[in-house]
Each structure stands twice: as C-alpha cells, then as structure tokens.
Structure 1
Amino acid sequence: MKIYKYLHSCLVFEKEGFKLLCDPGSFTFAEGQVTTETFGDVDAVIITHIHADHLDLPNLKKIVALSGAPVYTNSEVGVALKKEGLAFELMEEGVYDIGPFKIEAIPVVHEPLLDSPIPQMTGLLIDGRILHPADSMEDKLTTYNNLDLLILVTMAPFANELRIAAFGDKVKPKQILPVHDGFAKHFFVKSRFANYKNHFAKSDINFIEVTEPGESIEL
C-alpha cells in the first residue's frame, strides 16, 4: 500500500491500483499547489467530518464529476452533500469493504473547540493496521494495538504538542504519519516535525517527516 499526503489532512491510500481519497479540504487547495485534477482518477472518497479543512464542497463536487467516485461519510456531512446534489454512501460505524480496503468506521469525538459546536466525526481503521482518528485523541483509541501506522494530528488550535505527543506515546504504533499542518509555514512545519521525530524515537516509533505535497510512503 502507498499513502500520499496532499497538504493538511488530505490523503490518498492506494492498493492494488485502487485509490481512496480522504478529506480533501479547503487548506489542500488554498495555494494552488494541489488541484482537483490531481484526484481525477480516484475510485472512492471518504469525508471524516464537516469542518471546511476536511470538506471543501465546491472542490469535492469537481472531484466527483471528474472521477465518478462514490463518497462515503456520516449523517451530518451527508446532509450538507444532499444540499449540493451530491450522493453519498452512509458510513458511520461498522466494517465496510471499499475496493480492496477493509475499513472499520469508528465514531469518535472531536477535540474540544473554542466557541464552536462539536461535529459528528468518523475515525477509520484501515485493513486492521492503520489508525486514522481524524481530529480525535480519545482514550478509547489507545486500545488499538500493534498498529503499523498512526495518522496523527500534529498542529491544531484544539491541541498542543504535549497532548499530541502523549496520545502518540499511548497508542505506540510502529510509525506515525503527521497531518493537520496546513496552516503553518513550511519552515515551521519542518522544525516541529524534527521535534516530534526526536521525541518518538525515544520509544522506537518512526515519525515520518512528510512535508511536500504528493509525497508518499509505502507500507
């Protein structure tokens, strides 16, 4: 499996020629480094929650028009999609087969926000080996053991580095792929990633420093 990161929390999981796009949000397209045409060949799309940095409706409509990919998401996002005339497959809890991927949908709670409602959010366990908690660091997620990869929020208004590092330490995966960094300058992202890498190395966790749009890793 290959995993491509396209700014902030936008990822593409590729397996056996099947491409699964997750959370193409507004930050992904904000500076023109990534366009909707980048995702014209995806086979399916997952949206974890309704926040604009994970769901960019105008660009999602373009991606679906280009690719014909079905969209999998929860009820709250589904309401927003219906208003835009976009069809969706409901995915809130349980195990789903999407192409060659086996996805366990996990209801998770978004980290607390300043003066904003908490959205419905869906975390993902992919093929039993990759945990994508979206914007959650719930204690229940630390019960997932022997993971090959944790996809981890690394910068956010709702968390500091101590909270983030403590969550990663509890999950203790083999590797960590950082996300949720699209609002920071490149030099700052690189410096914070170096800090995380040094921290997690003490627990023999490989923190993968992915900083360029479209850069990929292989599992």
Structure 2
Amino acid sequence: MLLTKYTHACVRVEKDGTALVLDPGNFSEVEEAVSGAAAVLITHEHADHFDRERISAAIRADSLLEVYAPQGVAAQLREALDDDGAAARVHSVEPERSYTIAGFTVQTFGGQHALIHPHIPVVRNIGYLINGALYHPGDSFIVPHGVQVQTLLVPVHAPWSKTAEVIDFVTSVRAERAHQIHDALLNGTGLAMVEGHVSRLGKHYGTDFEHLDPGRSVEL
C-alpha cells in the first residue's frame, strides 16, 4: 500500500489503483486528498477530522464516492445531501466490526473520543485498521486487540492528551513503524520535541518512528 500524509490527521491509502482517504478535516487539503478516491473514512465529527461542507461537495461532484462514518457523522452528511440520492452513498459504521470497503479490509475499534474536559461532551470515535496493517485511531488511544499492527498513525498532540500518553500508546501498540498525525497545532520546536521522545522510547519496544511532511508518500 502507498500512504500519503496530508496536513493534520488526513491520510490517503492506495492499493491496486484504488484509494481510501481518512479524516479529511478543515486543516487538510481535502479536495486534493479526496480526488479520485473510492471512499472516505471518518473517525468522528470534530471539524479538524470532518469538513462537512467540503466532503458534501466532493460526494456531489463524484457519483462513485462513498463515505463511512460513525452514526452521528453519517446523519449530518445525509441531511446535507438529502436532494439527489447522494445520501445513499453515506454509510454508518460501528466499532468492533469488519467491513470490506472498495476492496480494502477495514476493522473498527474503540467507540468514543478521548476526554477533553468534563464540561465538553464526549462524541463517538472509531479507529480504523486497514488491511490488517495500518491503524488510524482518530482522537483516541484505543489499542486494537487481537491484531499485530504494522504501521501506526500517532496523534502526537491534542487538547485531550499529554506526551506521556502518546508515548504509552506507541509502546502499547508496538507496531513495526509509526508516523505522526494530529500535528497541526504544534510549531516546529514542539513537534521535534514530542517526536524525539516517541522515536527514542518507541525503539525500546520495536517501533521505528519516521516523520512525514504533508504531501510525502511512503510504501507500507
């Protein structure tokens, strides 16, 4: 598979001429990421992972594009698209399931977003494991069970986390390799510091961490 990193939490995965896009949010290059993709997977409803207006426009522009998301996100999209049948291409997904999406095997994990603050409601969040190899957790540190993740996408910074939790997530999953996501709120100095800890301590548990700039692609 070919993995392409976009700004913040958005990535594109391609295999055999087919592409999936995960979490095209309002910090990301949505149109570029989604262009020609067969499906979009959304982990949760927050705007930095789900740009409703631009995703709705992409669905209308491409009659083959399908979207898979937690029930609340799917409902928002269907309401926005309730005009020309495009809403039928929006599908709800549940945690702890296995799906076949555009020729990819997709397993789902988790169920809720990490706690930001008790005054801020917790929303649904689903992590996606693609072809048993690539794991995108969304906004959570849920460790997928019963599988050996090959490539882990690591949320390195968020209002709901601290660096110790980021490191514990990496060392718990013990993937062979890892790349950063959820990095748009850090400047270069902060990003280098967090990634340095993840890289150094991840090695103790067999994880090789590599930073990806937006637009860069790597073979998995």
The TM-score with structure 1 as length reference comes to: 0.88
1:31 corresponds in structure 2 to: none
1:55 corresponds in structure 2 to: 50
1:130 corresponds in structure 2 to: 134
Counterpart contact for 2:27–2:48, Cα < 8 Å: yes
Q: 1:74: how far off? A: 1.6
Count of aligned pairs: 211
Unaligned runs of 5+ in 1: 29-33
The answer to whether residue 61 in structure 2 is matched with residue 66 in structure 1 is yes
1:165 corresponds in structure 2 to: 167
Unaligned runs of 5+ in 2: none
Counterpart contact for 1:131–1:147, Cα < 8 Å: yes
Q: 1:106 aligns with which of 100, 106, 109?
A: 109
The TM-score with structure 2 as length reference comes to: 0.88
SS at match of 2:191: helix
SS at match of 2:68: strand
The answer to whether residue 146 in structure 2 is matched with residue 117 in structure 1 is no
2:72 corresponds in structure 1 to: 76
Give the root-mean-square deviation of aligned CA atoms. Answer: 1.8
How high is the sequence identity, in percent, across the aligned residues?
27
Counterpart contact for 1:194–1:209, Cα < 8 Å: no
Q: 1:201 aligns with which of 200, 203, 215?
A: 203
Deviations for 1:91-129, whole angstroms, at most 9, x for unmatched residues?
A: 214211112210012243211112211111111121122
CA distance in 2 between counterparts of 1:136 and 1:158 reads: 9
Counterpart contact for 2:11–2:33, Cα < 8 Å: no
SS at match of 1:26: coil
1:13 corresponds in structure 2 to: 13
SS at match of 1:143: coil
Deviations for 1:54-87, whole angstroms, at most 9, x for unmatched residues?
A: 1111111232233331111121111211221162
Q: 1:144: how far off? A: 4.2
Letter of the 1:146 partner, please give it: Q
Deviations for 1:131-183, whole angstroms, at most 9, x for unmatched residues?
A: 22211113xx2534422111221101111110110121111111112111112
Letter of the 2:75 partner, please give it: V
Residues 1:144 and 1:151: Cα distance change in structure 2 (over 3 Å): farther
CA distance in 1 between counterparts of 2:156 and 2:168 reads: 12
The answer to whether residue 37 in structure 2 is matched with residue 42 in structure 1 is yes
Q: Which residues in structure 2 correspond to 1:132-147 (within 5 Å)?
A: 132-138=136-142, 141=143, 143-147=145-149
CA distance in 2 between counterparts of 1:160 and 1:44 reads: 32
